[in-house]
């Protein structure tokens, strides 16, 4: 998958319209928050969507923006005395308790659904690996003092806000402290602890959870992935659509086959796996993600009374590996000790791979298997 060179600012990449399954999965807290804001007559001006990678934060942010700007959802300005950023209107008392939803037919919704919303700007790294720099916030600051086009909120989405460098973060602190009337900031972050506390303290946080497996399955079917892979990908995605889709690519799937061979005949697959891991950090991570779940499957099913295998497509391989490893190591307890040891090493490698040589780390991780089966 060409995730690395993915450009985010092209309309074709806008996540529209949102899949209903995604909305259902995040009904709590998103729907609840919308209902609460409507009831209270106020939308917090700085919102932080915090949740693990691939749980749909950006899609939900687009949905929130559409809802807040929809002329019929009860948040948009009505009349000359309306105050920006605050919701009002006769409807606000009509549906207290129910989550307001965008109508999908007003001018504002149509623009949003066509990928050209007014008074909305996404600030994001153009490449997946880049950081957000101060220049990217300049345009936003230059529009200070100008009112919006529609009379509704002016919304800024800062995607992957943890990528802001220190200067960029400092440059927007004051605006976040006292946002101009009518401005709403949506920030997404995979881990709020990666943001400066000065930023977090200005935000109302909406915590989003990993996606349930059945939601992932539905979203993967929507993405028209091969049916025979969907169940495995949904189980291995660990609540992350991004992770499941990464693994669905032909190259990653082919490497999965080699990885499974490795569990039975490590010598033959050792070098191909290392080359794959060393070529790109994303590939190394895809490999580690799979090893993590394989090790987990092996450990929890070691006594034969486990919950079953997440790696449904590899049950036979894992059972064979398990039996061989127990024989070679001198018992199932020793095999489990070996797998736990590999799991611990794996977690260390996730940190070390940011600074150390991938080829050496991959070799270090894989070589103990040579005399384990």
Would you tell me which residues interact with Zn ion (CB under 5 A)? Answer: 70, 72, 102-103, 106, 109
Distance CA 196, CA 216 (A): 31
Nearer to Zn ion, 186 or 192 (CB): 186
Which residues, listed in sequence order, are joined to residue 47 by a DSSP beta bridge? Answer: 186, 204
**For residues 273 and 359, what is the distance between their CA atoms, to the nearest angstrom?**
10
How near is the Cβ of 70 to Zn ion at its closest, in Å? Answer: 3
Kindly tell me which of 184 and 241 has the beta carbon lying closer to Zn ion.
184
C-alpha to C-alpha distance for 150 and 107, rounded to whole angstroms? 10
Nearer to Zn ion, 72 or 261 (CB): 72
Distance CA 302, CA 343 (A): 15
| Closest CB to Zn ion among residues 116, 265 | 116
User: How far apart are CB 114 and Zn ion at their closest, in Å?
Assistant: 13
At its nearest, how many Å lie between Zn ion and the CB of residue 72? 5
Between 152 and 179, CB nearer to Zn ion: 152
Determine the Cα–Cα distance for residues 216 and 218; give it in Å rounded to an integer: 5
Closest distance of CB 32 from Zn ion, Å: 21
Task: Decide whether 68 or 176 has the Cβ nearer to Zn ion.
Answer: 68
Closest CA to 178 of 38, 43, 46: 46
Specify the residue, 70 or 184, whose C-beta has the smaller distance to Zn ion. Answer: 70
- In angstroms, the CA 307 to CA 351 distance is 29
Least distance from Zn ion to the Cβ atom of residue 69, Å: 8
Tokens in use for 370?
């040579």
**Nearer of residues 32 and 72 to Zn ion, judged by Cβ:** 72
If the CB atoms of residues 148 and 210 are measured against Zn ion, the closer one turns out to be: 148
Residues 6+ apart with CB under 8 A from 239: 52, 54, 55, 209, 210, 211, 212, 213, 216
Query: Strand order of the sheet with strand 154-158?
Result: 120-123, 154-158, 183-189, 46-50, 204-207
Shortest distance (Å) from residue 133 CB to Zn ion: 34
For residue 152, the minimal CB distance to Zn ion (Å) is 10
Closer Cβ to Zn ion, 43 or 245, answer by number? 43
- At its nearest, how many Å lie between Zn ion and the CB of residue 232? 39
Q: Are 29 and 113 in contact (CB under 8 A)?
A: no
CB of 40 to Zn ion, least distance (A): 21
From the CB of 65, what's the least distance to Zn ion, in Å?
12
With CA atoms as reference, report the closest residue to 68 among 182, 176, 158. 182
């Amino acid at each position: 998958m060409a995730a690395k060179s993915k450009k985010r600012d092209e309309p074709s990449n806008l996540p529209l319209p949102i899949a209903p399954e995604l909305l259902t999965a995040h009904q709590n807290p998103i729907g609840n928050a919308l209902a609460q804001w409507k009831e209270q007559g106020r939308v917090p001006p700085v919102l932080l969507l915090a949740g693990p990678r691939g749980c749909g934060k950006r899609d939900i942010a687009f949905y929130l923006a559409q809802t807040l700007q929809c002329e019929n959802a009860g948040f948009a300005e009505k009349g000359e005395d309306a105050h920006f950023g605050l919701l009002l209107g006769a409807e606000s008392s009509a549906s207290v308790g129910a989550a307001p939803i965008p109508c999908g037919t007003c001018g504002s919704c149509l623009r949003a659904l066509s990928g050209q919303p007014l008074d909305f700007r996404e600030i994001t790294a153009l490449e997946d690996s880049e950081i957000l720099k101060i220049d990217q916030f300049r345009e936003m600051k230059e529009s200070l003092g100008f009112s919006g086009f529609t009379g509704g909120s002016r919304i800024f989405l800062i995607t992957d806000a943890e990528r802001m460098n220190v200067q960029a973060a400092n440059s927007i602190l004051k605006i976040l402290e006292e946002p101009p009337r009518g401005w709403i900031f949506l920030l997404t972050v995979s881990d709020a602890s990666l943001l400066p506390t000065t930023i977090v303290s200005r935000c109302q946080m909406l915590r989003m959870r990993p996606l349930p497996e059945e939601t992932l399955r539905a979203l993967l079917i929507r993405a028209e992935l091969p049916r025979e892979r969907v169940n495995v990908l949904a189980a291995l995605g660990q609540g992350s659509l991004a992770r499941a889709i990464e693994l669905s690519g032909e190259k990653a799937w082919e490497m999965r086959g080699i990885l499974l061979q490795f569990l039975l005949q490590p010598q033959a697959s050792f070098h191909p796996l290392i080359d794959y891991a060393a070529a790109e950090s994303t590939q190394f991570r895809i490999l580690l993600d799979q090893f993590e779940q394989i090790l987990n499957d092996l450990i929890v099913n070691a006594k034969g009374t486990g919950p079953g295998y997440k790696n449904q497509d590899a049950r036979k391989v894992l059972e064979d590996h398990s039996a061989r490893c127990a024989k070679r190591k001198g018992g199932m307890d020793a095999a489990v000790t070996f797998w736990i040891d590999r799991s611990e090493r794996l977690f260390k490698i996730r940190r070390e791979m940011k600074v150390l040589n991938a080829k050496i780390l991959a070799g270090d991780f894989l070589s103990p298997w040579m005399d384990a089966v």
